[in-house]
Structure 1
Amino acid sequence: MRGRFLTAIAIRIEVDTPDASFFAALDEKIRSAANLMVGAPILLDFEKVPGFASRDHLGELVRAIRAKGLLLFGVQNATPEQQALAEEFGLIQVLVGRDTPVQQARAVSPRRSRLVAQPGNKVIHRHVRSGQLVVAERGDLTIIGSVASGAEVLASGNIHIYGTLRGRAMAGVEGDTNARIFCSKLEAELLAIAGLFKTSETIHPDLRRCNVQAFLEDETLHIERLV
């Protein structure tokens, strides 16, 4: 058995009865980020709607999303009632980031506690080629080189790329909203921090091929040039 990160897209539900405007907004997002969403694993996020508990509404939602060619497989932040409904439509409950429960609690010595708390920063002294995935599970990721188109780099902390970023970079994958992405030359397919993202289509042309940083502010991903 081998464990690895899986990049999934979460669709956050914010109304108890998804209507035409909801599906219109979803269609627009699919058009603007087709390369990201089509063919990617999809989750429904119920954090904003704990009262969403209609079997008919959920069934309609699941059928509509799958009809758009999206690979819907699970839910997150669901109540027990929502989990039971989701299972009826073949959806699994996914625990991510800070919501994952501790399976076993054991008393540890202060010395052992300090060792466990140390970040697992990772430094890569090479280019990341297309199709490769590089992950820093506990800490920052530094790439001394470029990231090719079709490659992915992920970190629970910050990402530093001393080269051209052409692939996908996802920082704060465990939910750290203070994480940032830095790169010497931006030509990215996707930037994401704590689940909020921008695709190549939504990155302003004036920021491309520049030395930049990406960060979150007011639940929006911002990109600014660095001198």
Structure 2
Amino acid sequence: MQSGKSAAQTVATVKPLQIRGRTFTAIALHLSGRPDRAFFEALEARLNQTPLFFDNAPLVIDLEQAQGLDAPQDLVHLAAELRRRKLSVFGIQSGTPAQARAAAEAGLISLPGGRDAALERVSRQGSRPEPAPAAAAKEPANRMVTQPVRSGQTVFADRGDLVIVGSVSSGAEVIAAGNIHIYGRLRGRALAGVNGDASARIFCHALDAELLAIAGLYRTSENLGPDTPRHHVQVYLEGEVLRIEALA
């Protein structure tokens, strides 16, 4: 009888659920005007540049500069089109009260506007205007970042190599058309050769990556076994296999 009472007490103390706070990175899609044919053509061109980065990525639609989209069916249609392109839409931000009501009826949550982490190449606020194209110097093909890449940030070198002098945090992405050199720890995602360069490589001082990809072939953290080299490594393609080896 005592053991039965003890078991009952144990069952009674087990919590049926737990609620905990959690932060995560989401992509904000800013609409300018209406989501017409030109919008979807531009979106598909952007998605095709780095398909792995956007694959099933959580996404919020920023409506601050959007036109229309006040009816639930408009948002239902837009969300369906985005999900068809493997974007996991879950809400809107910076919408009007009418858009917030429409979002609720469409099964989307409504968020206040947030602060975005840059996805573009390197445009900095306060920088001087670009000179006229005829007199403009060619932009360097390679890009160097001399500070750590924080969670939620994306750094993109779309024409050459990317050099990070620092670490790449979990939840951050570094993407390059060429090679990626990380003089620090890689905890986030690194995608090299995104335009199809199978000779591209990833180099890092310490490897703890969420995802590694070269020319569309990738490995996730779940595929990195206990025997995987973790310090001073290079990642490269050998045929259709992504290799990870320690540098000599």
Query: TM-score, length-normalised on structure 1?
Result: 0.52
User: Partner of 1:126 in structure 2?
Assistant: 147
SS at match of 1:127: coil
Q: What letter matches 1:218 in structure 2?
A: G
Per-residue deviation, residues 95-142 of structure 1 (Å, max 9, x unmatched): xxxxxxxxxxxxxxxxx9xx86x8610011000000000010110000
String of CA shifts for 1:68-110, please: whole Å, max 9, x gaps. Answer: xxx4428xxxxxxxxxxxxxxxxxxxxxxxxxxxxxxxxxxxx
Deviation at 1:207, TM superposition (A): 2.4
Give the number of aligned pairs.
134
Mapped pair 1:73 → 2:85: yes
Q: Displacement of 1:204 after TM fit?
A: 2.2
Unaligned runs of 5+ in 2: 1-31, 33-41, 60-82, 87-133
Look up the SS of the partner of 1:201 in the other structure.
helix
The alpha carbon displacement at 1:202 in A equals: 0.3
Residue 97 of structure 1 corresponds to none
Counterpart residue identity of residue 85, structure 2: F
Q: CA RMSD in A?
A: 3.2
Task: Name the CA distance, whole Å, in 1 between partners of 2:84 and 2:58.
Answer: 9
Deviation at 1:9, TM superposition (A): 4.2
Taking structure 2 as the reference length, the TM-score comes to: 0.48
Letter in 2 for 1:73: R
Q: Report if aligned partners of 1:187, 1:208 keep a CA contact under 8 Å in 2.
A: no
Q: Please give the secondary structure, in 2, of the residue aligned with 1:206.
A: coil
Q: How far apart, in 1, do the equivalents of 2:166 and 2:185 lie?
A: 7
Moved over 3 A (4+): 1-7, 36-41
CA contact (8 A) 1:138 1:155 kept: yes
The equivalent residue for 2:156 is: 135
The reply on whether 1:224 has 2:224 as its aligned counterpart is no
- Look at both structures and tell me which one has the larger radius of gyration over its CA atoms: 2
Aligned to 1:171: 192
Identical-pair percentage: 54
